Amino acid sequence: MTTEQHTKTSKRDNAELLALHKRRMKNAGFHRLSLWVSDELAQHLANERRRGECGGRTLERLLLGEAAKRPTYPHGSTEDEEQGPRRQVSRVRA
């Protein structure tokens, strides 16, 4: 497989996975938001983010508090839910 073929395959596979993720989130009652924030707010959110936590969960935790009931997150099919935690990705913060 050439580099060009690999890139096309990866982009297609990624697009399919992203579409599947969006569909699952929407079906689970989540709503997608896109927003612009100041540098100060972006830095505050980055500082408040916990390991393995996505930006949406950080924002949800800060707005609703620790005691808020977390909606069921659709990691995938029912078989996927029994496989345990998802892998953690290390992030480097500036």
What is the per-residue pLDDT for 81?
A: 42
Residue boundaries of the structural domains of the chain: 1-32, 33-65
pTM metric for this prediction? 0.53
- How far is the C-alpha of 28 from the C-alpha of 71, rounded, in Å? 8
- How far is the C-alpha of 46 from the C-alpha of 93, rounded, in Å? 8
**pLDDT tens-digit profile, the chain (94 residues):** 565 655 666 777 888 999 998 998 898 888 898 999 999 999 999 999 999 888 888 998 899 887 667 666 666 444 344 444 455 555 566 5
